[in-house]
Amino acid sequence: MAENLTTVVSSPAQTVEISRDRPTVIIGERINPTGRKVVLAALKEGNFDIVRKDAADQVEAGAILLDINSGVPGADEPKLLEQMVNTVMEATDAPLCIDTANPAALAVALSVYDGKALVNSVNGEERSLETVLPLVKAHSAAVIGLCMDDDGIPDTPEKRLAVAAKIIERAAKLGIGPEDVVIDPLVLTMGADSHAGRIALRTVELVVEEFGVNISMGASNVSFGMPDRRHINATFIAMAIYAGLTCPITNPLVPEVAAAVLAADLCMGRDDYGMRWIQAYRKRQRAAEAAS
């Protein structure tokens, strides 16, 4: 089994180490207009108040990194993403995960970001490898690599492992070490394929065993289209942490998910004397008492 690697990202005030030897790092997913009409409308109007609030709320709820996505239809994405990055840097000290499929927007965001960012994302498609990886190298960033290529998303864990290997190899040719490549196995919805969760979990195991790199994923995708999603998400994220997930992209404001992450870390021996679990419990108790 490969040695567990440590991915380091930073802001001017914080340095975060992502590793299976440390507690799980939650990447807050809420600064994203996709599926959120209120956010979409605000950004179209140039109103960033909800971005500031989402940043602060997610950090308060336990997010260590914040994912920033500026996918507003018809917008000048490079300009908008730059504004969002600057807004979040002013609102919080959390390091940022810059989420865009637009190379021009990525270049602008990386140029204004003060720290070592995590880029979301590159994949195994030639166009992606050729445009994203040089920007990652030029700005000394880390990058999430998605297990898909020019043929789409592979249908087996072994084929997804091969895509991960390709991304890691191509990154290495540019001088980007494996510690700066975080692999996303691409969990799909079990509403369309009942084996989707198992395939993603097995991919995590194979990638960790072969390369020791850190693992991210949009964990809530697994339950899309299903009822009572938060219970599925909480169970799946705990299982994924056991398999090797280290930095899920998820919503820390969902109590079941936040508790599942803490419980998984406790069970994995990453919470000395259960202090993080106890602190979170006391915080929940205070909030309940204040609301009563």
Q: Pairing mode, if any, of strands 181-184 and 15-18?
A: unpaired
pLDDT at 1 over 80: no
Rounded percentage of the chain residues whose pLDDT exceeds 90 = 93
pLDDT at 4 over 80: yes
The confidence score (pLDDT) of residue 270 equals: 97
Give the mean pLDDT of 17-34: 96
Q: Output phi, psi for 149, to 5 deg.
A: -145, -160
pLDDT 10s digits, 253-263:
999 999 999 99
What the chain holds in terms of domains, given with CATH numbers, is 7-291 (3.20.20.20)
Which of the 8 DSSP states describes residue 82? H
Which of the 8 DSSP states describes residue 113? -
| DSSP per-residue string spanning 35-78 | T-HHHHHHHHTT--HHHHHHHHHHHHHT-SEEEEE---TTS-HH
Give the mean pLDDT of 11-36: 96
The confidence score (pLDDT) of residue 141 equals: 98
Calpha distance 127→138 (Å, rounded): 17
Calpha distance 230→227 (Å, rounded): 9
- Compute CA distances 90 → 59, 65, 118, 278, 292, whole Å: 13, 14, 18, 31, 34
Burial level of 173, CB count in 10 A (0-12/13-18/19+)?
exposed
Of residues 274, 238, 240, 275, the one with CA closest to residue 256: 238
pLDDT 10s digits, 203-233:
999 999 999 999 999 999 999 999 999 999 9
Sign for the pseudo-dihedral over CA of 98, 228, 225, 195: positive
pLDDT 10s digits, 89-147:
999 999 999 999 999 999 999 999 999 999 999 999 999 999 999 999 999 999 999 99
The confidence score (pLDDT) of residue 34 equals: 87
Calpha distance 224→226 (Å, rounded): 6
pLDDT 10s digits, 178-207:
999 999 999 999 999 999 999 999 999 999
| DSSP per-residue string spanning 152-192 | BS-SSHHHHHHHHHHHHHHHHHTT--GGGEEEE--PPPTTT
Give the mean pLDDT of 158-167: 98
pTM score, two decimals?
A: 0.97
pLDDT at 84 over 90: yes
> Average model confidence (pLDDT) for the chain?
97
pLDDT band for position 35 (50/70/90)?
confident
